[in-house]
Structure 1
Amino acid sequence: MGASVIGKFEPQIGNYVECLLTEGKIGICEGNIRLTDITSGCNTLQVEKGPCCDRFKMLLPYGGHSITWEVLFNSCYPEEPPDFIFGNDEQFFLPDLFNLVSLLEWDHTDPKSLLYVVQELLDQYKSYQHNLIEAESRLKFEYQSIAEELGKDAIEVHVMKKGQYKIGPISFLIKLDVDFSRIPAYLTKDNPGEDSAVLLVNFSSSEGGRVTSQLYLSPRVEVALGGSAGLRIPSFPSNGCMIDYVPSIKTLLTNKVDQTCETYEKRKEYVSAFLSHYGRSVQEYDTESFSKLTFLFDWRNFSFLVSIDIPRSFPQDCPTFTFHSVYHELNGLPYSMKKSTYPYSPRWKGTEMAERARAVILETVEVFQQNSIKEGSAT
């Protein structure tokens, strides 16, 4: 929210709003609060005197949904606490005013006063949502079993209430405790923010009905693990339970992190082995992701470059050798030829791969030299 928007509010109310937006991290996802429908309850004369907006709607991330609450101050008396109007879907949410200490003891001198009230309201809202599933045996079991496993602070429940007795759909937003700190730094450096993963499980009805799930990764983690296609989770099993399903998704994610770290270490080992064997011929190599290295070799007075591209899926998939001529070009570029098929085993150590690369290069260079003369033009 820009300063120009904050400037629309009566100054003291603007201080509350600015603090709410900059310091308010909501729920297990620590999401940001957004504002909409910023208006003023003032008369025309008051508006002419200066900024006097004093009411707005908050969009709060909770349980995989965005809940909307309206906040009403009075710009004529900005030191007074606000009133709240909850959304149409929250007509059964009746907060206990006596437990809203920050509202009862409103401190108009503290810019965080509004934030404190919102946090206390959210605590009561969380309890209200939990109470909605207390009478539903299936949902109560699902919640209690996973809460015992992960802790209550790792779960948010959101229930759509249809009238006084019917509920559904029901959402469980679950934070997965996975260690992402081991992910190589080069994969996350361009994506500031937190490393997190949450699983959203939706039950269509209180009896279970159709159950769907979706994994949400923070931008840093999603990029590090290969984007949206890098990790696909299995569907929620028919007649399954969250106590079995959620740990399986956590294990899947942990294994993906392990694989990412392992492939990085394998590439590093591979590059180190080549540097050890052919260090005097090295022209350049990637010191960050260890995904490429280039050598200048000489064979029978024929000089040529070999670039080795190491895929992210290494060692499962083999590196590609690209031969570059220093004498001939094709279409304005150095003549080149790729070699991606050769004897290879992902079980070999980096030293053995480096040693066997000599045979690959020697059996390819003669053909490459002939083709560069035949198909390329002299530089």
Structure 2
Amino acid sequence: MDVLDFLDPQVGKYVDALLRENNVGVCGGPLYVSDPKTGRHTIAKKHCCDRFKIQIPYAGNTVTWQVIFDSMHPSDPPDFIFTDQDLGFMPEVEEIKSLVNWDAEDTKSLTLVIRELLGTYKEHQRKLLGDRLQFEYNSLLETGKFTDIEVYHSRKTARGPTIVNFLIRLPVDFSNIPEFLVKDNPGEDAAILLVSFQNQEATKVSPQLYLSPRVEHVLGGSASLRIPAFQNGGCLMDYVPNVCQLLENMVDQIVKGFQKRKEYISAFLSHYGRAILEYDAETFNRISLLLDHSDFYCILHISIPTFFPRDQPHFELQSIYNMTTYGKLISAIVKEYPYSPRWSGNEMAERARVFLDQWIPEFKRTSMSGGRMR
């Protein structure tokens, strides 16, 4: 059941507006509301709760605050209870202007308060930084490029010192990524770097890169997203731009690769004409042709990789006559054909044609004898 079903309607209108806020903090994630309760001395029923917990994604963690309204006086602003994990966060009411100037008629009033509290919370966490991490934080800001940063201190435990998280949005431009790569993956494109310092002296650092689903898909999945290790004695001012540049280079390769794949397919369409069986006219990552050499026919399947032309296309010849003992058509992977990423699509197609004219007779002899070429 939806949490709004339990809230007093006069409280629920603020929460409903708050839950529509889907772009909170560096991660740009949604807020969550849970644990609705009532302050009245009655058994909790639907539509009578006036207090709840709000969960906010922040710096790789979840910050939980309790929000308390008074359903008997619904025009009054709410109170807040912060948890022990907030390390002494207790802002003065006068600092939160949207709370001082609470407008009960504006359904976005609670949203404005939460935004302002988050800004105050962010500054509070920054002030907890020691000298070394304060230097790291200020150095990033001074670049003028990495300004969307959240800092969070976890509690110190008996097993070790406080862990300090830096959550940094990387300003990578994803706008030129071809539409076909992203249209089925909703959500904002984002690249987020989480850097965890095991202590205030930054003697042990663990970086992790997080990408929105469609960006990860575009870049070829998690296997393609290895970032460099954080070197001992290094600093964020050097490390973060390097990771950002790595991503920018990958995106640039994707964009250029799409145009090159399109050029490549067009060249084969031009050279082979009616021999074309099918090709992908959206992603331009595959094409199949029916080849004829001295009345011997075979099919050439070409798969074009995401990072083309850096990565060479995959050629596979398939017989239309002969089968293996397992009932599959005999095929052969063509590995040593002429290729250079510096060639134009037209030259690639022309050189492939010359090579195949010389190579198909060998494939014919092998397939006719029931062999398998690899």
* CA shift for structure 1 position 374: 3.9
Alignment partner of 2:203: what SS? strand
Q: Paired residue for 1:141?
A: 135
4+ long deviations beyond 6 Å = none
After the TM superposition, which residues 209-288 of structure 1 pair with which residues of structure 2 at under 5 Å, given as runs? 209-288=203-282
The residue aligned with 2:308 is 314
Match runs of 1:11-30 below 5 Å: 11-23=9-21, 25-30=23-28
Q: TM-score, normalised on structure 2? A: 0.90
Residue identity (%)? 47
1:145-195 deviation digits (Å, cap 9, x = unpaired): 1111136741112224659xx983222111111111122222212211111
Specify the SS of the correspondent of 1:38: strand
CA contact (8 A) 1:222 1:228 kept: yes
Per-residue CA deviations over 1:8-34 (Å, capped at 9, x if unaligned) read 211121111111111252112222111
* Counterpart residue number, 2:162: 168
Aligned to 2:83: 87
RMSD: 2.5
Conservation of the 8 A alpha-carbon contact between 2:203 and 2:232 = no
- Aligned partner of 1:127 in structure 2 is 123
CA distance in 2, matches of 1:339, 1:247: 40
Name the stretch that deviates more: 79-88 or 354-363: 354-363
Bigger strand fraction: 1
Q: TM-score, normalised to structure 1's length?
A: 0.89
Bigger drift between 88-97 and 312-321 goes to 312-321
Structure 2 matches for 1:295-310, cutoff 5 A? 295-310=289-304
How much does 1:326 deviate? 3.7
Question: 5+ unaligned residues in a row in structure 1: which ranges?
Answer: none
Alpha carbons 1:171, 1:201 under 8 Å: kept: yes
Aligned residues: 368
The 2-side partners of 1:246 and 1:297 are apart by 50
Secondary structure, counterpart of 2:222 in structure 1 = coil
Instruction: Return the match for 2:111 from 92, 111, 115.
Output: 115
What are the Cα deviations for residues 305-330 of structure 1, in whole angstroms up to 9, with x where unaligned? 32222223433333233333444455
Aligned partner of residue 32 in structure 1, secondary structure: coil
Q: Using a 3 Å threshold, how does the CA distance of structure 1 residues 24 and 340 change in structure 2: closer, same or farther?
A: closer
Aligned partner of 1:12: which letter?
Q
Residue type of the partner of 1:114?
Answer: L
Equivalent of 1:193, from 157, 162, 187? 187
SS in 2 for 1:141: helix
Code of the aligned partner of 1:291: N
**In structure 2, distance between residues paired with 1:75 and 1:290:** 60
Rounded Cα–Cα distance in structure 2 between residues aligned with 1:223 and 1:320 = 21
Superposition deviation, residue 87 in structure 1: 1.1
Deviation at 1:334, TM superposition (A): 4.6
Letter of the structure 2 residue corresponding to residue 57 of structure 1: K
Of the three residues 337, 354, 370, the one matched with 2:332 is 337
Residue 172 of structure 1 aligns to which amino acid in structure 2? F
Residue 269 of structure 2 aligns to a residue whose secondary structure is: helix
1:40 is matched with: 38
Q: What does the per-residue CA deviation read over 1:358-378, in whole Å, with 9 as the maximum and x for residues that have no partner?
A: 2332233223334444439xx
